[in-house]
Chain A
């Protein structure tokens, strides 16, 4: 019982942080909806654990825990990939910026005019 309370509370916290994070970007809207749906699903799965097995059977998987594990694997892998490509692109931006700073500094030092 204690674990259920803990899990439901964590879902609520997760929801609040997910939705409250105000980054002012409209493309984040669909992410908030996803957060909301995930949190609700989590609460449902915690209150009615046998439901996950019903869903698992629907997909031809024996137990709900197995289905959750598979789901988690896919979610984690895709998260890792998305994170990797995000970091690559922000690294590219950082490098562009550092190059610009380096060049500006050198132009000033050697009094080179850039047209």
Chain B
């Protein structure tokens, strides 16, 4: 059955190899797939144009957080009630999206967050787990939320959240910023287990562990500025 009331927002940066396939599998279930090409240096935008997904083109690379914000601003104008953020590298499972949407509608949550550590994660290395867990502790401490995974790209939320959200952190620090927004606005949130497929491709593309240091600094500096 085609889902006409949900917008899938996919930030894309140099994903020409896989983006076509990811979009195709999303379009089987969702009418509104919005790809924000974040100044890719490869043929990502051409690959997106070949499909029926919406393409929004950043002319410069501004980071995943900025791409999500752009996608959200576009998606708000579509006749949809629900919004999904979905990574472009094909590591998320559409079944998880369906589960999250079901829970969001049934129990009237504002936002559902995907968690790797509640679900099954294939092929992740130990160092990455350790870094992620450290990020979780740090984030729970600063936001006061209780989560098991704070840097997961899969999220489902309602229009109220989409209208409220304003992501200003351009890069990976946006994940923490979103949690801050959830805490501040007292959104009803829930974590649900999601499966992440760490393929060779996604590992090659994924965030490096050293980037955690950058994220921590961004958060601290962001807090100081406020």
Contacts and interface: CB of A to CB of B under 8 A. Distances in A.
A103 B62 contact: no
Contacts of B60: 94, 98
B187 interface: no
A30 to B, nearest CB: 24
User: Which secondary structure characterizes the binding site on chain B?
Assistant: mixed
Nearest to B61: A98
A95 B62 contact: yes
A106 B32 CA distance: 14
Interface in B46-86: 54-60, 62, 66, 69-70, 73-74, 77-78
B170 interface: yes
Contact of A103 (B66, B70, B78, B170): B70
Interface residues of B, number: 18
A106 B170 contact: no
Top 7 closest pairs, chain A to chain B, by CB: A106-B56, A99-B70, A95-B62, A102-B56, A102-B58, A112-B77, A102-B57
Interface of A: 92, 94-95, 98-99, 101-103, 105-107, 109-110, 112, 114
Interface of B: 36, 54-60, 62, 66, 69-70, 73-74, 77-78, 168, 170
30 contacts: A92-B168, A94-B60, A95-B66, A98-B58, A98-B59, A98-B60, A98-B62, A99-B58, A99-B62, A99-B70, A101-B59, A102-B36, A102-B57, A102-B58, A102-B59, A102-B70, A103-B56, A103-B70, A103-B74, A105-B56, A106-B55, A106-B56, A106-B57, A106-B74, A107-B77, A109-B55, A110-B54, A112-B77, A112-B78, A114-B77
